[in-house]
Amino acid sequence: MSPETPMADTEALLKALLDSPAPPPKLSEIGRVAEVGDGIAIVTGLARALSDELLEFASGVRGIVFDLEPERLGVVLLGPSEEVALGETVHRTGEVVSVPVGPALLGRVVDPLGRPRDDRGPVEAAVRQPIEAEAPLILDRSAVSRPLATGVKAVDAAVPVGLGQRQLIIGDRQTGKTSVAVDTILNQRDTGVICIYCAIGQRGDAVAKVIAALRAGQVMDSTVVIAAGDEDAPGLAYIAPYGAMSVAEAFAAQGRDVLVVMDDLTHHAHAYRELSLLLRRPPGREAFPGDIFYVHARLLERAGQFAERVGGGSITALPIVQTQAENLSAYIPTNLISITDGQIYLSPRLVRKNQFPAVDLGVSVSRVGGKAQSRAFREVAGNLRVTLSQFEELEDFARFGTRLDDQTRARLKRGAAVRAALRQPERDPVAAPVQLAVLVVAMDGLFDGMDEATMTGAMAAIRAAMEEDDAGLGVRIAENEKLTEEDRARVLARARAAVEGADRGAVT
């Protein structure tokens, strides 16, 4: 080998490198923070940024491009605004906000970005999905035809909810809205329904109580808790329900039935209003921006019963909204009433009467769930709403001390007994056969004239008897069969025996 060979190889290599095309230039935009507010930042220098793009700040905080203006970007921060300094650099990520999805989330407590809030380490999810998605097409949907049992007697009997329905839970503070939603989750323990509880702007102790109730009810293994507390950035509260819906969509695409509780959309609307006003968006009615209806509509339209060709699953949405002084005509409540398929109204008037759950059947309505309700419930509870409304009218009239005939007294006793039969403690959902038995007995007059303590004991005895042996009633309810006269007679006989046994025990 001649000594010139290595030199020749080097020259050839250099010549090849010089003749090869130059690599394309890599452009990197760097922005800077021009202004910082409570939960927002104004960024300059990122002229190519896209709407809803995720930005990375030098401090590690992330943000979403909210407003696009010629010389500036309005950015919603997903972390503490105190950590963002004026003049610090900002980089584009070329991504949108996404959340981890899949079975790895079951049993976990996470924030809206999928970061763990429990002590079980990081979420080992292989797939992430954007929090924003288009609502399914009409052709990809099916009619609501299967019931979602809530375990709440007043709801299942008079305001039934179907799988794939959007049912609003509405009422003043301290009327039991969260309790109805949590009881509904607890009632899904043996149904195979996956539950997602999304806490928006709630206090940490309130969320901790809900998690404790879910664990005590043994439903946490099939539940995902997504929490954005009142101490978190308002940007996290804003994206929380969208992240919960993306998690639900991943399960629904696999053919699963999913229940999503959003607690509550009043805080969500307030967070969006706060961010919009700080970013100088023009305010409208009640200082909300003009697109607040679209903010909630595009969220709830993602729920529904889906056709077999797109998985055949369902997403049932139970959004919660808070009213002030029973004002149902406020801006956000009227928006959500028009978006959803019905509402469960919890009345402070009934709370003052110690009626829990305080479901006002005169205002509550279910526009599609009745088609999914079993025939047995429809037969028994068909006159429930009329019976209670007539009773309340007579009750108001009887307060004037007017003399009442025997027929009116009997109707008052029947109405009081039916209303009392709908009472139940929180965190204690009732199975469908037990609900049906209690309703049959109440509508038939067996509870007429009973005092509260005696009726409580009687209902406990009926529940114990039906849970021990319901004579196949639960199967027939699940198969949507009618309640026969034999079934009704059998339920009444078992109820009378249970009540008499309870009375004998009380006397002893």
Going by the annotation, the residues of the binding site are: 171-178
| Boundary-marking domain end, from 355, 373, 391 | 373
Q: Say yes or no: 91 and 112 in one domain.
A: no
Query: How many separate helices (H) and strands (E) can be counted in the chain?
Result: 16, 19
Q: Say yes or no: 328 and 402 in one domain.
A: no
Q: Say yes or no: 79 and 195 in one domain.
A: no
Residue 11 belongs to some domain of the structure = no
Residue 8 belongs to some domain of the structure = no
CATH assignment at residue 486: 1.20.150.20
Q: Say yes or no: 106 and 91 in one domain.
A: no
Residue type, 94: G
Q: Say yes or no: 356 and 422 in one domain.
A: no
Q: Say yes or no: 368 and 384 in one domain.
A: no
Give the three-state DSSP class for 27. coil
Q: Say yes or no: 404 and 350 in one domain.
A: no
Q: Say yes or no: 229 and 330 in one domain.
A: yes
Give the three-state DSSP class for 445. coil
Range of the domain at 451: 380-507
CATH assignment at residue 363: 3.40.50.300
pLDDT truncated to tens, each residue of the chain (508 aa)? 455 567 777 888 877 777 777 777 776 789 999 999 999 999 999 999 999 999 999 999 999 999 999 889 999 999 999 999 999 999 999 999 999 999 999 999 999 999 999 989 999 888 999 999 999 999 999 999 999 999 999 999 999 999 999 999 999 999 999 999 999 999 999 999 999 999 999 999 999 999 999 999 999 999 999 999 888 999 999 999 999 999 999 999 999 999 999 999 999 999 999 999 999 999 999 999 999 999 999 999 999 999 999 999 999 999 999 999 999 999 999 999 999 999 999 999 999 989 999 999 989 999 998 889 999 898 888 888 888 888 888 888 777 766 778 888 888 888 999 999 999 999 999 999 999 999 999 988 889 888 888 888 899 999 998 888 888 888 888 888 888 888 888 888 888 888 777 666 555 4
d(CA 186, CA 166): 19
Give the three-state DSSP class for 425. coil
Q: Say yes or no: 111 and 225 in one domain.
A: yes
- What is the model's pTM? 0.91
Q: Indicate the number of domains in the chain.
A: 3
Q: Say yes or no: 149 and 234 in one domain.
A: yes
Q: Say yes or no: 240 and 348 in one domain.
A: yes
Residue 302 belongs to some domain of the structure = yes
Going by the annotation, the residues of the binding site for ATP are: 171-178
| Boundary-marking domain end, from 72, 96, 120 | 96
CATH assignment at residue 53: 2.40.30.20
| Boundary-marking domain end, from 62, 96, 130 | 96
Report CA dihedral (332, 336, 279, 51) to the nearest 10 degrees.
-170
In sequence order, the β-bridge partners of residue 56 are: 62, 91
Q: Say yes or no: 397 and 475 in one domain.
A: yes
What confidence score (pLDDT) does residue 382 get? Answer: 83
d(CA 497, CA 508): 16
Smallest CA-to-CA distance from 168 within 348, 273, 292, 296 is with 296
Residue type, 173: R
What confidence score (pLDDT) does residue 402 get? Answer: 66
- Beta strand segments in 206-361, E: 223-229, 257-263, 304-305, 314-322, 342-346
Smallest CA-to-CA distance from 65 within 279, 270, 325, 314 is with 279
Enzyme catalytic residues: 367
Smallest CA-to-CA distance from 258 within 366, 478, 102 is with 102
What confidence score (pLDDT) does residue 454 get? Answer: 87
Residue 18 belongs to some domain of the structure = no
If one counts every other C-beta atom within 10 angstroms of the C-beta of residue 143, the result is 12
